[in-house]
Amino acid sequence: MNPKKITIQDIADCANVSKSTVSRVLNNTTPVNDKKREAVLKAVKDLDFEPNSLASGLAGGNSMIIGVQTQKIGSPFYDLVTRGVIHCLTDTRYSPILVDGVWDKEIELKGIDTLLRRQIDGLIIIGGDIEKEQLLHLAAKKPLLLVGREVEGLQDRCLYVDNFDIGYQATKFLIELGHRQIVHITGIKSHQDSVRRLNGYLHALEEAKIPYDADLVYEGAFDGPSGVKAIDTVISRGKKFTAVFAANDMSAFGARLALYRHGIDVPDEVSLIGIDDQTEAPYMTPPMTSVRQPAFQMGVAAGNAMLDLLMNKEFELPKPSVQISVRESTAKVEK
Partner DNA sequence: CGGCGTCTTGAAACCGTTTTCATAAATATA
Partner DNA sequence: TATATTTATGAAAACGGTTTCAAGACGCCG
* 32-71 binders of DNA (CB under 7 A): 32-33, 36, 49-52, 55-56, 58-61
The CB-side HSE value for 14 (13 A sphere, CA atoms) comes to: 20
Helix (H, G, I), strand (E, B) or coil at 1: coil
Q: How many CB atoms lie within 10 A of CB 313?
A: 9
Give me the least distance between CB of 314 and its own copies, in Å please. 17
Q: Pick between residue 202 and residue 259 the one whose CB is nearest to its own copies.
A: 259
| Angle at 270 (CA atoms; ends 266, 271), nearest 5 degrees | 80
Give the helix ranges, DSSP H, for 118-191: 132-141, 163-176
Residue 141 in contact with DNA, rule: CB under 7 A:
no
The reply on whether position 114 binds DNA by CB under 7 A is no
CB of 93 to DNA, least distance (A): 11
Q: Does 323 bind DNA (CB under 7 A)?
A: no
Q: Among 241, 57, 297, which residue's Cα sits nearest to residue 231?
A: 241
Measured CA angle at 100 (ends 247, 199), to 5 deg:
25
Query: Should residue 29 be labelled a site residue for DNA when binding is judged by CB under 7 A?
Result: yes
100 makes contact with its own copies (CB under 8 A): yes
CA-to-CA separations, 32 to 9, 168, 298, in angstroms, rounded = 17, 62, 42
Task: List alpha helices for 17-96, DSSP H.
Answer: 19-27, 34-47, 53-60, 76-89
When asked if residue 169 is in the footprint of DNA (CB under 7 A), the reply is no
- For residue 286, cis peptide bond before it (omega within 30 degrees of 0): yes
Q: Does 20 bind DNA (CB under 7 A)?
A: yes
CB of 135 to its own copies, least distance (A): 15
Q: How far is CA 281 from CA 3, 9, 316, 321, in A?
A: 52, 57, 31, 19
Q: What's the closest the beta carbon of residue 106 comes to DNA, in angstroms? A: 24
Which lies closer to DNA via its Cβ, residue 93 or residue 240? 93
What residues from 128 to 167 belong to the interface with its own copies (CB under 8 A)? 140-143
The answer to whether 52 contacts its own copies (rule: CB under 8 A) is: yes
Q: Name the minimum Å distance from CB 226 to its own copies.
A: 12
Residue from 29, 152, 236, 283 in contact with its own copies (CB under 8 A): 283
Report the DSSP beta bridge partners of residue 129.
none
- Taking only Cα atoms into account, the Rg of the chain, rounded to an integer number of angstroms, comes to 26
Q: Which stretch binds DNA (CB under 7 A): 9-17, 69-77, 215-223, 318-326?
A: 9-17
- Catalog residues that contact its own copies under the rule CB under 8 A: 1-3, 50-55, 57-58, 63, 65, 73-74, 79, 83, 86-87, 90, 95-100, 113-114, 116-119, 140-143, 224, 227, 250, 253-254, 256-257, 260, 278-280, 282-287
